[in-house]
Chains A and B, each alone.
Chain A
Amino acid sequence: MMEMTAPGSITRIMLHVLYALIPGIIAYVIFFGWGVVINIIIAVITALTVEVVMLLLRKRPIKPYIMDGSAVVTAVLLALALPNLAPWWLIFIGVSFAIIVGKHLYGGLGYNPFNPAMIGYALLLISFPLEMTIWLQPDNTLSFAQSLNYALFSTLNNIDIDAMTMATTLDTVKTQSGLGQSFAAIQASAPAVFGQFAGKGWEWINLAFLLGGLWLLYRRVISWQIPVAFIGSIFIMSLLFYPFTETSPIYHLFGGATMLCAFFIATDPVTASTTPTGRLIYAAGIGVFAYIIRMWGGYPDGIAFGVLLMNMAAPTIDYYTRPKAFGEST
């Protein structure tokens, strides 16, 4: 029995993660409207329900496990990764799959080898490619009620949905450059998707996630190795290939889900590498894969697959990066 313990708990960690997401969510709402909030609400309700059912089925105590907050974090992260104009069933399927298959079938929190949110995301991307690409454009005029209406009934009534949606910045660049366009030409032809230095809206959302992430670092909820190695590897990759891809490191760092991944997704401790050196390798690996898939793969962003690939490698990385025990190096 331990007489003295630190005040930490899983709940505290998860709450910190949720707080740290707030600036990013606010930025998201400012640029894209309420869609993301509706995503989050549906995802959280689904997650909690599914979690309780699974705990009941697995005969686990409900209270300590639901209070740990991990299901909520999974739900919010997945909701943030989904298109901001998503029907409820898409979210429901994604979150249920994440919690049931991604987590409980492996034995629950702590035993899952793959990041549950990314498992859910990957499933949706493969199964519902169309729904996964309907993104609202920045500065749309959709109200909360309208967004909710779409989420529940998949219709915007009299509004023309095509006028409201478009491909994301990463998507546009990828399809256009696939057609042989230069980056400058793409920028000129689709001014709506570009902002000051990266994707319109996305640049500020990324900045806000960076802010929240720095706070997590400051509160020692996450360790520095993963964000630094991930951001570093994206930076180096984009710098190396700048001459060929014409997309700058800044564009990559503040585009897509880079910062969300750096501080919130790749840092999921359960599925990441657990040794300090291992974490550097693990996160750098995600960066490399994410960049490759982002630029040359079949999907607009490669983060989910990068994370899942490195999840698989994590146990091996851990084994080979055991730090030297006291006195072992002498």
Chain B
Amino acid sequence: MQDKLNSIPVRKTQWKFHGGLKLAGHKKQSMQTGIATAIVPEQLIIPLQQHIGRPAKPVITIGDKVLKGQCIATLKDPTSITAAIHAPSSGEVIAIETHAIPSMNRQTANCIIIKTDGEDRWLPSIKPVDNPTSLSSDTLKQLIIEAGIVGLGGAGFPTHLKLTAETKPLDTLIINAAECEPYITCDAVLIEEQADKIIQGIQIILHTIGIQHCLIGIEDDKPQAIQALQKALATINNHTIQLIQIPTRYPAGGEKQLIQVLTGKEVPLNKLPHDIGIVCHNIATVHAVTEAIKEGKPLIERVVTVTGDKLQQPKNMRVLIGTPMQDVLNECGYTESNDQSLIMGGPMMGIHLDSADYPVIKTTNCILVRKKQKQPVALPCIRCGECARVCPANLLPQQLYWYTRAKDLDRVQDYQIFSCIECGCCDYVCPSHIPLVQFYRYAKTEIWTQEADRKKSDHARERHEYRQFRLERKKAEDAERKAKKKALLNKKQGIKTPEQDSKKAAIEAALKRVKERQSEQAAIAKNTEGLTDEQQKKIDEVEQRRKNKLQKEKLNTKLEDN
């Protein structure tokens, strides 16, 4: 065995990404024991949307009895950005109603509520396949769709949409096992316990995409997980899957950062990994793929790290999707109190929750309970540039902040705000304790809203123009009908008409009128310099209203305006 182990080399990477942070790991506390299985709760709250995209469509109704693994919500067609959802345990659907879901701004969303019957009876909805590589790519993809698998690393992008080349042929599969955020260990323990399934999953995905080459990126602070993967790799004797050890540096698990660290390639600005032939999947996702295909188990549970200094028994747990966080926390020695904060995800990018009354969803990798941090008063930016030094997107956070405060959203875009991955590195180092990421989120939303407003008005104009066109056409048709009638009448009376194809002519004339008007309008729209005073005034007013609205939007900070 030892020899075999040695034959699977762990390569160290030669590349790195700009900036980043060396953070205290806090990982040991949740790794004392193996993965525990959480108790089936009395009630499961299952949001119809646990992924990026559109909510799934329920296929059950209130009062239905459901079995574990039964599909309860599905997607309309396989190209839509959504994912199927399954009953995590057997029981009865008692409601389909809105419930608070874990999100940045305390959203509520439609959820299927299942009262469990405690029997955990199973409905084998997917047929297990022993030898997945004997199946066609399309069949596998269909199975993955049916299993409702989404990216389990955090974003929750439906997995089946990342199994085909879109613009360029794919050549490399990257498996993200970096797990760079402090506290979170669910991927590491999953690797330690299920390395074989992970490697099988990688093979399935490689086969589905139709490529050979795979890089697994893992941070070097997880020697046990690395060893487990080495062992699993040794048994399959496949040298196109490479294990690469990367330095522990936050945010090495950011998709674009990981790609850079593993391949030295930068995903071009405003492009996606598949534009350079790369596709990334999280290691837990890969595990879910194996379970779905080889065991016929849809995505109804996941491993969640439940940890933090405020928990008596931090650990990793296999939790059914939809389990209330309160139930999970109760199993880890949680007591409610005011001096602690509850976070879904890690301390750097996680979402603060106001209570434990939220369900665990497909993207819940961690529930963190920490002592409440004293929030220091934000002081002015002193332009020290520390933020720029650590920014993995190589931005100038201080300038983004400056122009966001000045509400100069054009400049904010010049400084590439949409490249910001909201990793919080800048926040972390800022000596003035400015909540920078909050400003960037605000700026992004603001820009989107403006864009949407503009689109709306464009849309309205189009609608108006179309209406004009319709009216004109109708007029033409009426005229033509009249002419025809007249012609008919004339014919009867023996008079010849000079114009037989008056219909065509009338329509053409109408079209011409519409076109003329359109070009007139376009000229006005383009020619902002030649505006009359009145027009300019109107535009200014609109602009001012928009600005006022912006001003009203109070930035969420104690920093006073100077």
A-side residues, CB < 8 A to B, are 1-6, 8-10, 12-13, 60-61, 64-65, 68, 70, 107-111, 223, 269-270, 272, 274-276, 279, 318, 322-330
Residues on B with C-beta less than 8 A from A5 are 373, 376, 427-428, 430, 433
Q: A3-B341, A4-B428, A327-B266 are in contact. Are A223 and B377 (CB under 8 A)?
A: no
B29 to chain A: closest CB distance in Å? 15
Q: How far is the CB of A310 from chain B (nearest CB, A)?
A: 14
Contacts A275-B385, A275-B388 supplied; 11 other A-B pairs, CB < 8 Å: A4-B23, A9-B431, A10-B379, A10-B382, A110-B381, A110-B432, A223-B389, A276-B388, A327-B419, A328-B419, A330-B268
Q: How far is the CA of A270 from the CA of B402 in the complex (A)?
A: 12
- Cα(A328)–Cα(B269), bound, Å: 5
Please determine whether A3 and B383 come into contact, CB atoms closer than 8 angstroms: no
Using Cβ atoms and an 8 Å threshold, which residues of chain B touch A64?
Answer: 377, 379
Q: Is the interface of A mostly helix, strand, loop or mixed?
A: loop
B382: chain A residues at CB < 8 Å are 10, 13, 70, 109-110, 269-270
Chain A residue numbers with a CB within 8 Å of B384 are 13, 269
Q: Which residues of B contact A223 (CB under 8 A)?
A: 385, 389
Are A6 and B256 in touch, CB under 8 angstroms?
no
A4→B379 contact, CB < 8 A: no
Interface contact A326-B383, CB-CB below 8 Å: no
* Contact segment of B237-245, B346-354, B446-454, B507-515: B346-354
Interface pair B266/A326, CB less than 8 Å apart: yes
Complex interface: chain B residues within 8 A of A109 (CB): 379-380, 382
Cβ contacts under 8 Å, B350 to chain A: 3
Q: Is the CB of B435 within 8 A of A10?
A: no
Q: Is the CB of A3 within 8 A of B379?
A: no
B54 interface residue (CB < 8 Å to A): no
The stretch from B190-198, B391-399, B470-478 touching chain A is B391-399
Contact of A272 among B18, B24, B383, B416 (CB under 8 A): B383
Of the candidates A3, A10, A65, A272, the one whose C-beta lies within 8 Å of that of B431 is: A10
Q: Does B343 contact A (CB under 8 A)?
A: yes
Q: Sorted from nearest, which 7 A-B pairs have the closest CB atoms?
A: A110-B380, A3-B347, A327-B269, A325-B416, A107-B562, A269-B384, A8-B431
**Which has the most chain A C-beta neighbours within 10 Å: B347, B370, B394?**
B394
The CA-CA distance from A322 to B265 in the complex, in Å, is 21
Q: Is the CB of A330 within 8 A of B373?
A: no
Interface residues of B, count at CB 8 A? 56
> Does the CB pair A326–B393 fall under 8 Å?
yes
Q: Decide: B428 and A322 in contact? CB cutoff 8 A.
A: no
B102 close to A (CB within 8 Å) = no
Residues of chain B within 8 A of A325, CB atoms compared: 269, 393-395, 416, 419
Q: A2, A65, A275, A323 — which one has the most chain B CB atoms within 10 A of its CB?
A: A2
**B175: min CB distance to chain A, Å:** 21
In the complex, what distance in Å separates the CA atom of A70 from the CA atom of B431?
13
Query: CB-nearest residue of chain A relative to B435?
Result: A2
Q: A2-B373, A4-B348, A322-B399 are in contact. Are A274 and B432 (CB under 8 A)?
A: no
Q: Provide a sorted-by-A list of 17 A–B residue pairs whose CB atoms are within 8 angstroms.
A: A2-B424, A9-B433, A10-B431, A10-B432, A13-B382, A61-B377, A108-B562, A109-B382, A269-B384, A274-B396, A275-B385, A275-B396, A322-B399, A325-B269, A325-B394, A326-B392, A330-B266
Assembly CA distance A61 to B435 (angstroms): 19
User: Which residues 154-202 of B have a CB within 8 angstroms of A?
Assistant: 182
Give bound CA distance, A2 to B524, whole Å: 48
Whole-angstrom CA separation of A326 from B258 in the bound complex: 13
Within 8 A of A (CB), among B367-423: 368, 370, 373, 375-377, 379-386, 388-389, 392-396, 398-399, 415-416, 419
Set of chain A residues within 8 Å of B269, measured between Cβ atoms: 325-328, 330
A111 to B182, CA, bound (A): 35
CB distance from B291 to the nearest CB of A (A): 32
Q: How far is the CA of A38 from the CA of B348 in the complex (A)?
A: 48
Least CB distance from A10 to B in Å reads 5
How far is it, in angstroms, between the C-alpha of A70 and the C-alpha of B265 when the chains are bound? Answer: 43
Q: Is B555 on the interface with A (CB-CB < 8 A)?
A: no
- CB of B92 to closest CB in A, whole Å: 39
Q: Does B271 contact A (CB under 8 A)?
A: yes
B433 partner residues in chain A, CB cutoff 8 A = 2, 5, 9
Return chain A residues, CB-CB under 8 Å to B352: 1
B380 and A108 contact, CB distance less than 8 A: yes
Which B74-111 residues sit within 8 Å CB-CB of chain A?
none
Cβ of B267 under 8 Å from chain A: yes
